[in-house]
Amino acid sequence: MKFFYGWAIVATGALVGCVGMGMLMSFGVFLLPIAESQGWSRASVASGSTVAFLAMGVAALPWGALYDRHGARVVVMSGGAIQGLGLMAASQTESLFGFLATYGLSVGAGVGAFYVPLTAAAASWFTRNRSLAVSLVSAGLALGTATMAPLARWLMAGHDWRYAMFGLGVISCAVIVPASLLLRPAPPAEPVSPAAESAMGRADPGMTAAQALRTPVFWSLSLANFACCAAHSGPIFHMVSYAADCGIAPLTAATVLGAAGLAALSGRIVCGLLADRMGAKRTLVGCLFLQAFAIGLYLTARDLDSLYAVSMLFGFSYGGAMPLYAILVREYFPARIMGRVFGVVAMISTFGMALGPPVGGWLFDHFGGYGWLYVASASIGLAGALIGLTVRPPSRRAEALAVA
């Protein structure tokens, strides 16, 4: 049987996503060591993550446009070099401003080169099993949280945070840049008539990116993704610190974040399979409601067992939701503009990701705990689920296009 190269694209995307996104999502492990060694507040250090997510969001659109023109290889290779060199430089900075600028801009811009292009590349290679393929690439992002955070903690155990961050930068360059050489453009698809496109529930194949950004479904997906990310970013980033405040040893506290990452990995795969059978919209809305519920449970989790249980439920829910936005974008919009359209969706969502770390740090500094963070996050998560309900199913949209 001839090997289908699309699965090599999926494997490469999962590997790059694991290393690249892991560098960003493991930053919570650095929060306390940097704050204690440099004398900076938690809110100030957390701003590094905020700058990174903002940079990721702003960079997502140009990276997506470059992907539409030149493919994933050049984009991912550039992002790996930017991220790796930036981590090395950030590990040597002494001022807060220098650290926020170096870490935030380089890591954020680098991750922006991975998420949208790799997701779009996987979607372009598949017609059947597209939800599973995109979910497997997205699973690599979750695996990054489960692997990079404990690795960073292990590197710090024998040295300090600077050594650990420099080491992560070396790993980023050594893995991502060579792996990008495996990325290839998808072969040309067979011509599909506009009527067939409509029957499959897709948008007019002649739609431009500007027209796509004016559709109601685009804004429903973007706002739901924004609320979803705003809801889970704070709990993810402050998870290790919250566990430490509950009396958990630092190295063990990092494994709570790792457990959430592993659960997010399984959530992406399971929900990808469900989306191929039940539809992406139904699966997404279910994940968003489950996420809001899981965040609320943190208010009662104080010991290690309950933290593991809640974090795994939380990880499964947000992990399952994340790849579904890309799947829905591909269902509603033509492949040739997916990089740009999904780039804007991702950009808007990263603004939500940018809110959680500093807001969580500010709430902790002012109220002496994370209780209000979980209340606010659960409420925002519930709002995201309600917005998700407004996304019309592709079949109904196809009928409207056919009538028009």
pLDDT score at 201: 45
pLDDT score at 205: 65
pLDDT score at 298: 94
Q: Which residue carries 């494994």 as its tokens?
A: 255
pLDDT score at 398: 41
pLDDT score at 248: 87
Longest dimension (CA), the chain: 67
Q: What domains are defined for the chain? A: 13-184+192-403 (1.20.1250.20)
pTM of the predicted protein model: 0.71
pLDDT score at 46: 78
* Residue 32, token pair as written in the block: 């306390």
pLDDT score at 400: 40
pLDDT score at 85: 93
**37 burial type by CB count under 10 A (0-12 exposed, 13-18 middle, 19+ buried):** exposed
> Count of CB atoms within 10 A of residue 157's CB?
11
Residues of the chain with pLDDT under 50: 191-201, 395-404
